[in-house]
Chain A
Amino acid sequence: MPTRNESESQPQSSSRALPVLQNVPRRAVVKGAFATLGAAAFVAAVSPLRQVASNSSPAEFMQQHYKELSPEDKADVIARLEQEAKEKYGAEVTIGDDRPIPGTKFVYAINLSVCNGNGKCVEACHKENNHDRATNQSYIRVIEMPKGTMDMEQGSTTYSGVVPKKDKFYLPVQCQQCDNPPCVNVCPVQATWKEEDGIVVVDYNWCIGCRYCEAACPYHARRFNWKQPEVPADEVNPDQSYLSNRIRPVGVVEKCTYCLHRTRRGRLPACLEACPTGARVFGNILDENSNIRWILENKRVYILKEELGTKPAFFYYFD
């Protein structure tokens, strides 16, 4: 009488047996089943990643570094970005590729005797650079300082109400476009670099979002997109540039670009035009007749955190 074991262990005739199931121990089947279950559980666990994939596109994934793009590549990229802006934000935008004007190096100065901390520059930056509306994001932070000290430990950014307050002066801080920028040194993928006119720029489509530059910056100049920026279609500033104020994707770092979409076309930055007290001065330091040159030659100018050796292109002075 054939035993159960015998019939199991002896192979059936080859025409009827499934080869893969010959002599497979039960243990293996059980292990296989659990492995499949585990794999399925893993796929289910990471299923939100599908949304990440749908947010991106193969063209965006494969896009090379800005400096490696040919003019045709750039045109394709910009066309794609304009299309995405239309889809995501409902706004018709024009993204330029503004290159530095030869013979320029931009320098900024603020007159601390005149700044009264009203924050219109902060708001203008917010609007000009298509920042997230919910957080009132801006590249500029204004510190209310007690008169007689430059120690920011005694300052505060959460002031409000009527300004200027008695015995206080106001210190707006934004990216200093340093000549020795620590942020450029630390980026592992060279997503940020200093251009010939002094502006330190970020390729938002190359940045991997490690935030090392944000840790390295001594001036709190960098911002990270913790979420997708939300800007209503009618508030989108449509005059955009690839390296500056196009609406940035989630997960990348950004910073003040001295409004290069304006300044590289000869215009003044948005913060300067918005300043009601006229505390801000901007220009090309290489032009002997420029306003900024006169300030550096005639006013007693200071820079922040000079001891760090960052060599900012941003100066502060008192009348």
Chain B
Amino acid sequence: MRFTSFVLIGIACIVGAVLFRDQTQATSTLEPHTERELAESISSDYQGPAVGANPAREPPVHAVIVHKPAGPPTVRLASVDPQQRLAEVACSTCHSVRPPNLENRLSTALDEFHQGLEFSHGELACYACHNPSNADTLRLADGSAVEYAEVLTLCTQCHSKQAESFAHGAHGGMNGFWDLSRGPQSKNNCIDCHDPHAPTYPQMTVTFKPKDRFNSAEDSHAHQK
């Protein structure tokens, strides 16, 4: 009686294990060793319908829009004209009648206009980017002029790595759609985040924190190192 009971239980266990082993085994795939293999291995884990098999998958019809500045900046005057209008002055208004100081690198040397300009962009001189022959444009390293709206090309001269990342959506963020067949995507221009004269991204203040029970900052100040 006793022996029979044990034997029956044992057989039941073995049968159960055989029936259900498939459902308890984890999938084992070879781990990818290069980035390309990684991307492909993730893609191959995909269990859904085949890519491209769906006729609803359309080619992208919407554009990736990169913001551009409207044009060269202007200097706003502090005073108003007799008609109480604010006046803006184009760069070339002054700079076409003054000789350029090609070696100047210091913002402290600017004592008539552009006062208080913070400048910390490496060892660049002002006229490395600004165009002495046409103050309403910028210039590339080879001297050719470039519109303010195309300021991107200026940045990419030196910051090609960030430019490549930017082109692939890995730098600068975006808004809108990832699926360009359904909607456009808009991206920032370099100067939307980086002030060209002091491009270091500004510090920010944290405004939103979770309010967990039993986990306030005061509770844990003891463990801050």
Chain A residues within 8 Å of B, Cβ to Cβ: 100-105, 107, 109, 111, 114, 116-120, 122-123, 126, 134-138, 141, 154, 156-164, 179-180, 196-198, 263, 265-268, 272-273, 275-287, 290-291, 293-301, 309, 311, 313, 319
Q: Per-residue 0/1 for B39-74: is the Cβ within 8 Å of any A Cβ (1 yes, 0 no)?
A: 100110111111111101100000000000000000
**Contact in complex: B46, A266 (CB < 8 Å):** no
Binds A, one of B75-83, B111-119, B198-206: B198-206
Chain B's closest residue to A300 (CB) is B35
**Contact in complex: B42, A138 (CB < 8 Å):** no
**Contact in complex: B42, A136 (CB < 8 Å):** no
27 pairs of residues in contact across A and B, judged by CB atoms under 8 Å: A100-B48, A102-B56, A111-B170, A116-B201, A117-B206, A118-B205, A154-B225, A156-B220, A156-B223, A158-B217, A160-B217, A265-B182, A267-B179, A268-B185, A273-B176, A278-B172, A278-B174, A282-B178, A284-B179, A285-B39, A285-B43, A286-B51, A291-B178, A294-B168, A298-B35, A309-B26, A313-B42
Q: Considering the chains assembled together, what is the distance between the CA atoms of A138 and B212 in angstroms? A: 11
Residue B171 lies at the interface, judged by CB distance under 8 Å to chain A? yes
Q: A161-B205, A277-B201 are in contact. Are A297 and B35 (CB under 8 A)?
A: yes
Chain B residues within 8 Å of A, Cβ to Cβ: 26-27, 35-36, 38-39, 42-43, 45-54, 56-57, 161-162, 165, 168-179, 181-183, 185, 188, 193, 201, 203-213, 215-217, 219-220, 223-225
**Contact in complex: A277, B193 (CB < 8 Å):** yes
**Contact in complex: B173, A272 (CB < 8 Å):** yes
Most A CB contacts (10 A, CB to CB) among B43, B51, B168 go to B168
Chain A's closest residue to B51 (CB) is A103
Q: Considering the chains assembled together, what is the distance between the CA atoms of A159 and B205 in angstroms? A: 11
**Contact in complex: A286, B43 (CB < 8 Å):** yes
Besides A136-B208, A267-B179, A294-B170, 5 other A-B contacts (C-beta < 8 A): A118-B206, A122-B209, A135-B210, A297-B36, A299-B170
B22 CB to nearest A CB, Å:
15
Residues on the B chain within 8 Å of A281, using CB: 169-170
Q: Considering the chains assembled together, what is the distance between the CA atoms of A280 and B173 in angstroms? A: 7
A-B contact count (CB 8 A): 182
**Contact in complex: B209, A160 (CB < 8 Å):** yes
Q: Tell me whether chain A's interface is mostly helix, strand or loop, or mixed.
A: loop
Q: Considering the chains assembled together, what is the distance between the CA atoms of A268 and B178 in angstroms? A: 6
**Contact in complex: A263, B208 (CB < 8 Å):** no
**Contact in complex: A163, B203 (CB < 8 Å):** yes
**Contact in complex: B48, A103 (CB < 8 Å):** yes
Q: A103-B54, A163-B206, A266-B177 are in contact. Are A278 and B27 (CB under 8 A)?
A: no
B213 CB to nearest A CB, Å:
8
A284 CB to nearest B CB, Å:
7
**Contact in complex: A135, B212 (CB < 8 Å):** yes
Residues on the A chain within 8 Å of B51, using CB: 103, 286-287
Q: Considering the chains assembled together, what is the distance between the CA atoms of A72 and B165 in angstroms? A: 47
Q: Considering the chains assembled together, what is the distance between the CA atoms of A267 and B62 in angstroms? A: 12
A178 CB to nearest B CB, Å:
11
Q: Considering the chains assembled together, what is the distance between the CA atoms of A297 and B170 in angstroms? A: 12
Residues on the A chain within 8 Å of B43, using CB: 105, 285-286
A124 CB to nearest B CB, Å:
9
B31 CB to nearest A CB, Å:
9
Residues on the A chain within 8 Å of B165, using CB: 319
Residues on the B chain within 8 Å of A319, using CB: 161-162, 165
Residues on the B chain within 8 Å of A120, using CB: 208
Q: In the complex, which of the residues A119, A156, A285 contacts B208, with contact meaning CB atoms closer than 8 Å? A: A119
**Contact in complex: B38, A301 (CB < 8 Å):** yes
Chain B's closest residue to A275 (CB) is B173
Residues on the B chain within 8 Å of A119, using CB: 206-209
**Contact in complex: B54, A102 (CB < 8 Å):** yes
Most A CB contacts (10 A, CB to CB) among B35, B165, B203, B219 go to B165
